[in-house]
């Protein structure tokens, strides 16, 4: 069944809820932008992309959204002293919500085809059905209009002289950086997921001959990184593995960068600007005959050659070594995984409510009956996505 990597929040347009988001508009813009970028990449990378044939539009929109997102941190600071920046953030949020609605429709249309048993094999297949021709035409027009609108908004940001987030030395944008440290004060609804994966890593994985690579796959905002952090810091993991390594991959999967990142994770110090060959020797020296756990977080690269080169270097560890991968893309999981992927599910409404409540009311604040009723209506719209519940609860 096709799922949507989207946060749907049409209820924010309701005037009675304006108090929830006017002060911290940027948070909503950031959350929706993150989801929209992920939606465009993952949604249009599968059968829906073939059905709609929107590769060029996808590329332009992803580029636009990523560029704009890099300025959000500075816009957050300036909105309190510059009303024009605050208005710009509102326009940005509204535009991305329109894009969000369009992506919803694309996913539902493709889902309808699946339910009818009509698997979409190519863009040509859908072109001959009158209903699909009309749908594609209308969606293409709307996508083009929202692209033009986002381009205007992106251009408008230049007059505010917003500072873009710079790249870290690892090549990963600052806003995409992740670490092994658990930053969430409380995590809801993931206990069973943690137990299942830990059981595998310290149990079945220890008896496999080949280096086990276990992918965690799920939509953006579901908490894949948080789940990996919980596993990485689990007591049973700490006692089972001699060495634990965390590397944030993102979109830059170059062999040299990844080799260097893993060495630095193991040694906890910079290894200098070495050429690839000495880096590879150093990596094998660090990992040789050690039982280690390596987490490769937020992987996007689906080039099999890149992974095979790195994997051959990592196969020097002791028996029981494991690699845990988090990704949104099933194609990445298929390329990297040696065992079936762990497909992360949505949170239940109850768990979403607990997360929202903790963010909205705090652990000690007395809940107001009226606000609780509104909050529970909001949670229903989160679609089981923790990022949505977290972002909306903090408004």
Enumerate the β-bridge partners of residue 84. Answer: none
pLDDT at 80: 84
Beta bridge partners of 227: none
Residue 16 has pLDDT above 70, yes or no: no
Residue 265 main-chain phi, psi, to 5 deg? -65, -35
Confidence of residue 131 (pLDDT cuts 50, 70, 90): low
Q: Contact 252/171 with Cβ under 8 angstroms? A: yes
Q: Parallel, antiparallel, or unpaired: how do β-strands 213-217 and 243-250 relate?
A: unpaired
pLDDT at 111 over 80: no
Query: What pLDDT score does 138 carry?
Result: 77
Q: Which helix (H) or strand (E) holds 293?
A: strand 292-299
289/207 Cα distance (integer angstroms):
16
Question: Could you report the per-residue pLDDT of 338-394, keeping only the tens digit for each?
Answer: 999 999 999 998 998 988 888 877 765 556 677 788 888 888 878 888 888 887 776
Q: What is the pTM of this model?
A: 0.62
57 pLDDT above the threshold of 80? no
pLDDT at 19 over 50: no
Distance between alpha carbon 354 and the CA centroid of its chain, in Å? 22
CA 65 to centroid of chain Cα atoms: 14
Alpha carbons 339 and 355: distance in angstroms, whole number: 32
Q: Residue 2's pLDDT is what?
A: 30
Determine the Cα–Cα distance for residues 352 and 178; give it in Å rounded to an integer: 23
Tell me the Cα Rg of the chain: 22
Distance of CA 320 to CAs 158, 228, 242, 290, Å?
Answer: 53, 18, 10, 9
Dihedrals phi, psi of 254, to nearest 5 degrees: -65, 145
């Amino acid at each position: 069944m096709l799922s949507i990597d989207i946060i749907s929040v049409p209820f924010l347009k309701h005037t009675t809820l304006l108090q929830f988001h006017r002060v911290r508009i940027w948070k909503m813009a950031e959350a929706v932008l993150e989801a929209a970028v992920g939606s465009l990449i993952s949604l249009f990378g599968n059968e829906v992309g073939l059905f709609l044939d929107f590769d060029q539009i996808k590329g332009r929109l992803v580029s636009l959204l990523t560029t704009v997102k890099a300025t959000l941190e500075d816009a957050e600071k300036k909105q309190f002293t510059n009303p024009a920046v605050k208005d710009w953030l509102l326009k940005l949020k509204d535009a991305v919500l329109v894009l969000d609605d369009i992506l919803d429709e694309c996913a539902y249309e493709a889902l309808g085809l699946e339910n009818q048993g009509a698997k979409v094999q190519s863009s040509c297949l859908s072109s001959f059905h009158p209903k699909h021709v009309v749908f594609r035409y209308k969606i293409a027009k709307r996508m083009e209009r929202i692209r033009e609108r986002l381009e205007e908004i992106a251009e408008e940001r230049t007059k505010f002289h917003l500072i873009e987030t710079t790249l870290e030395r690892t090549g990963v944008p600052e806003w995409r950086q992740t670490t092994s440290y658990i930053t969430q004060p409380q995590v809801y609804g993931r206990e069973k997921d943690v137990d299942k994966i830990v059981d595998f890593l310290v149990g079945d994985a220890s008896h496999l001959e080949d280096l086990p690579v276990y992918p965690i796959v799920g939509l953006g905002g579901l908490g894949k990184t948080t789940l990996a952090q919980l596993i990485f810091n689990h007591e049973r993991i700490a006692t089972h593995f001699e060495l634990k390594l965390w590397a944030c991959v993102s979109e830059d999967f170059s062999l040299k960068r990844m080799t260097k990142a893993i060495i630095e994770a193991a040694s906890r110090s910079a290894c200098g600007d070495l050429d690839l060959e000495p880096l590879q020797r150093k990596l094998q020296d660090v990992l040789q005959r050690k039982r280690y756990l390596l987490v490769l977080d937020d992987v996007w690269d689906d080039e099999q050659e890149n992974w095979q080169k790195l994997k051959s270097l990592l196969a020097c560890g002791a028996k029981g070594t494991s690699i845990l991968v988090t990704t949104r893309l099933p194609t990445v999981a298929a390329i990297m995984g040696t065992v079936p992927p762990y497909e992360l599910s949505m949170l239940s409404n109850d768990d979403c409510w607990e997360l929202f409540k903790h963010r909205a009311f705090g652990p000690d604040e007395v809940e107001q009956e009226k606000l609780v009723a509104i909050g529970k209506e909001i949670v229903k719209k989160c679609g089981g996505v923790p990022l949505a519940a977290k972002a909306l609860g903090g408004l």
